[in-house]
């Protein structure tokens, strides 16, 4: 295992997730790329296949790459104090930048303009930073069932209770929360925070190997990833309740109408 070195005296490792590479012109912002498939790119890429984590591993989506990071944490992170995680077309900016788009919780910017936002990728960090929480009109349960299958999040919550990861009050708070951090696995994390968070998420990912799990086709195939995202947000909001440590969700796009991953050509 290689120890990735960002820059001399840097305290922050920049990790990018994606089935596509970060824009090539700005590859200097990426220290290591975690991808579900080989990429034709100059990045130092670790390929974490969808099926690495068993029969239903593909349901994890990008959490496959994050669980791999947890499993190799000490060798990859080494003595870095912070880890910045971003995606091939999304990042967290410390400044409110970009333009209004179809996602009310985010702004968009063209790839060519990333040079304006070097501060969003700096490798000398002094604190944590996550995307701003967003208040949806419904609870997390209501928001989930609008775009996914309601039984899945109810079964996930039941699994968390019956495996002693949640109390019944935790279950209620999780399902009835009115705030969610979109793309909550991105941001700047203290290494201790990220290690704790990924341990919790890996443990919860065992849901896909239990009687509570139902495999889904098409877009819903990534069901465990969708559920872990909600848990990820819940854990961060609980840990940092009342603290202001939020940045701004920025999407790299060609225009304000943001497509879902399923509509983006591979």
Q: What is the pLDDT of residue 43?
A: 63
Beta strand 90-93 with 179-180 is unpaired
Q: Residue 135 forms beta bridges with which residues?
A: 179
Show pLDDT as tens, one digit a residue, over the chain (266 residues): 344 445 556 999 999 999 999 998 999 999 999 999 998 766 678 999 888 999 999 999 999 999 999 999 999 999 999 999 999 999 999 999 899 999 999 999 999 999 999 999 999 999 999 999 999 899 999 999 999 999 999 999 999 999 999 999 999 999 999 999 999 999 999 999 999 999 999 999 999 999 999 999 999 999 999 999 999 999 999 988 766 789 999 999 999 999 875 543 33
Cα–Cα distance list, 187 to 24, 83, 246 (Å): 21, 8, 9
Helical H segments across the chain, by residue range: 63-71, 73-77, 140-147, 150-162, 168-176, 191-204, 223-239
Max CA-CA distance within the chain?
50
pTM score: 0.92
How do residues 107-153 score in pLDDT, each as one tens digit? 999 999 999 999 999 999 999 999 999 998 999 999 999 999 999 99
Q: How many CB atoms lie within 10 A of CB 162?
A: 11
Beta strand 45-47 with 99-100 is unpaired
Secondary structure, 3-state, 139-202: CHHHHHHHHCCHHHHHHHHHHHHHCCCCCHHHHHHHHHCCEECCCCCCEEEEHHHHHHHHHHHH
- Which three-class secondary structure state does DSSP give residue 256? coil
Q: Residue 130 forms beta bridges with which residues?
A: 187, 246
Q: For 93, list phi and psi in degrees, rounded to 5.
A: -105, 140
Tokens of 240: 């940092």
């Amino acid at each position: 295992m290689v120890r990735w070195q960002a820059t001399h005296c840097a305290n922050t490792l920049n990790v990018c997730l994606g089935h596509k590479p970060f824009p090539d012109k700005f590859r200097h912002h990426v220290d290591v790329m975690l991808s579900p498939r080989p990429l034709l790119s100059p990045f130092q890429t670790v390929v974490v296949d969808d099926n690495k984590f068993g029969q239903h591993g593909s349901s994890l989506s990008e959490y496959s790459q994050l669980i791999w990071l947890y499993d190799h944490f000490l060798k990859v992170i080494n003595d870095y104090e912070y880890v910045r995680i971003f995606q091939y077309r999304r990042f967290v900016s410390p400044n409110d930048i970009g333009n209004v788009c179809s996602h009310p919780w985010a702004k968009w910017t063209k790839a060519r303009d990333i040079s304006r936002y070097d501060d969003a990728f700096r490798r000398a960090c002094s604190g944590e930073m996550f995307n701003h929480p967003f208040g949806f009109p419904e609870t997390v349960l209501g928001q989930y069932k609008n775009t996914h299958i309601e039984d899945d999040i109810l079964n996930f919550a039941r699994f968390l209770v019956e495996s002693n990861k949640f109390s019944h009050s935790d279950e209620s708070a999780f399902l009835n929360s009115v705030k969610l951090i979109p793309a909550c696995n991105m941001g700047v994390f203290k290494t201790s925070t990220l290690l704790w968070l990924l341990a919790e998420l890996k443990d919860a990912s065992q849901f896909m190997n239990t009687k509570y799990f139902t495999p889904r086709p098409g877009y819903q195939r990534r069901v465990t990833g969708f559920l872990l995202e909600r848990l990820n947000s819940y854990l961060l909001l609980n840990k940092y309740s009342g603290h202001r440590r939020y940045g701004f969700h920025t999407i790299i796009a060609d225009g304000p109408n943001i497509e879902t991953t399923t509509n983006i050509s591979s």
